[in-house]
Amino acid sequence: MHKIKRTLTYKTVISIRYYTSPMSKEKPDIKIHLPTADFVRQCVRSYYSTQQIPVVSHVQNREFGSILPGRSMWRHIAMRDMNALQDFLVTNCPAHMYYSSAYYEKPGARTMLDKVWQGADLIFDLDADHIPGAEELSYKEMLESVKEQFIKLLDDFLLKDFGFEQKDIGIYFSGGRGYHAHVRHESVKKLNSHERREIVNYITLPEKDISRLVRMETYDVTEYKGRFSKKEICILPDPESSGWKRKLRNGLFEYLDEGQDRERKAIVKELVGFEGIGKKGAEDIWTILFDGDTETCGAANIKRSNRLEAFDNDQLRDKFLRFILDRRTRKMAGETDEPVTSDIKRLIRLPGSLHGKTGFMVVELGLDDLKDFDPLKDTVWKGFTGETDMMVLADHDFELLGENWKLKKGEEITLPTAAAFHVILQRKARVG
C-alpha cells in the first residue's frame, strides 16, 4: 500500500479571546487510534480553514456548544463575532458544533437564569429514525423518505397553514438523518414552551375529532311513540377548505385514488393495523369503497358527491376517517421532534459545520433546491482530495458520490479521502 502525502495547510491562530468557558478537563470517553485521530483532525481543520461558515444571525447573542473528539458536550460558549466562531472551529476541530435557537443577553453565563433569555427561533426537526418501518430501509431510502415528509411539512403547514414566507424559514440538511426548519419570524420569538407545543399538537393532531372536520346533514326524521330518530349523511369539507379540513378531504381522495390500484390483501392488512377497525371492519371498508366497477364503486361515488353515503355504519365510517387523518398526519408531518420544537433553549446543529458521525456538511437549502437535493453527493466537501489507505474494521456497504463500496472486515483498502473520512467516522475502518 502506498503512503499518502498530506499537504494540507492550516490557518494558525495564536490566541482566542472570545470564548467565555474553559474546555472540559474530562478524560476522553473513547480510545481513538492515534493515526486515525490525526487524520480526522487534519480533515476537519482543512475544511474549517478553507470554508467560510454562513453568517449566524445575532451571533453575539447565541450560546454555542461543541463536542470535541472523545469528549462530552462543552457548552456555555459565547462568540463575539463570526471571526471568533471561525477561529474556534479551526483551532478546536470539533466533532459536532451547535448553537442555540435562543437569544440571550449573556449567552456565556454558566446558568440559564443568568443568561437572560430574550427569545428563540421556532425549530422543527424531522429525522429518518422516526419514520415507520425505517429499520427496513437503506440509508439512502431513509433520507429520501424523510425529505418527502419535510417538504410537505414546509409546504402544507409552515407556508400554507401558518402563513410564513420562504424568507422567514431557514432550511437545513442536518448532516445526518434528517432536516431542520428554523422559523425566524418576529411573531414566534417570544412564544413559550406551551405555545410551541400547541403548534406541534396542531401538526400531529393527537385528538382526531371527526365532528369538527365534517358536516352532518339530516335527510330523514321518523317518530315512534313520541320519540324521534334521524338519519344523517356525512358531508366532506369543500375543496376550498383550509387547515385540517382540507387535509382530511385531500387525504381521503388520495387514498381512494391509490386504493383502486392496490390489491385487496394489502388494503385490508393496512386497515387491520389501525386501532378499532379489526379484520371484519377492514373487509367491510374494502367492500364499501372498492368492490365493483371503478366507475360505480363506493370510492367513485364519494369523489363525485363529496358525501360518505356509501357507509351505513356511522362508527365504522368515523374509524375509517380517523385512519385517514392518522395516515395523513404521518405522511404530512412525519414525527416532528416535539421536544426540539417546544424547547425555547435548544442547541441545534450549526449551519456549515461538519457532522461528526458522517463527515457531511450541514447544508442550507432553498425550498426549490430540496426536490433534486442528494445528501450523498451534495454534502460531501469537494476539498477532500487524494486517496487514503485504510484497514477495514467491520463489513460495511455504503454509497457516496454516486459510487457503491462493499468493505470486508480485515482487508486493506485505498479509498478517495472523502469516502475514507466518512467510513472512519462511522467507525468501520482506521487509517493504515
pLDDT tens figures, 267-325 = 999 999 888 899 999 999 999 999 998 899 999 999 999 999 889 888 999 999 999 99
384-432 topology per CATH: Ribosomal Protein L9; domain 1 (3.40.5)
Mean pLDDT of 104-111: 96
Answer yes or no: are the C-beta atoms of 318 and 277 closer than 8 Å: no
Grid cell in block for residue 299? 370510492
Per residue in 8-51, pLDDT (tens digit) is 322 222 222 334 433 333 333 334 456 899 999 999 999 999 99
- 34-199+337-382 to CATH, choices 3.60.150.10, 3.40.50.150, 3.90.920.10, 3.40.50.80: 3.90.920.10
Catalytic residue, chosen from 87, 121, 125, 343, is 125
- Where exactly does CATH 3.40.5.50 map onto the chain? 384-432
Query: What is residue 271's three-state secondary structure?
Result: helix
Per residue in 135-157, pLDDT (tens digit) is 788 899 999 989 988 998 999 89
337 catalytic, yes or no? yes
Catalytic residue, chosen from 121, 127, 168, 343, is 127
- In total, the chain counts a number of residues equal to 432
The pTM of this model reads: 0.82
Catalytic residue, chosen from 121, 156, 318, 337, is 337
DSSP assignment of 105-154 equals SSTT-SSHHHH-EEEE-EEEEEEGGGSTTGGGS-HHHHHHHHHHHHHHII
284 catalytic, yes or no? no
Is the pLDDT at 419 greater than 80? The verdict is yes
- Where exactly does CATH 3.90.920.10 map onto the chain? 34-199+337-382
Grid cell in block for residue 269? 392488512
Question: Using DSSP, how many helices (H) and how many strands (E) does the chain show?
Answer: 14, 17
Q: Would you report the helix, strand and coil content of the chain in percent, each value rounded to 5?
A: 40, 20, 40
Mean pLDDT of 364-388: 95
125 catalytic, yes or no? yes
Please tell me the predicted confidence (pLDDT) of residue 33.
Answer: 57
Per residue in 41-90, pLDDT (tens digit) is 999 999 999 999 999 999 999 999 999 988 889 999 999 999 999 999 99
Tell me the C-alpha distance between 76 and 60, whole Å: 12
Mean pLDDT of 188-217: 92
CA 53 to chain centre: 22
Please tell me the predicted confidence (pLDDT) of residue 231.
Answer: 76
Residue 171 has phi, psi (to 5 degrees) of -115, 130
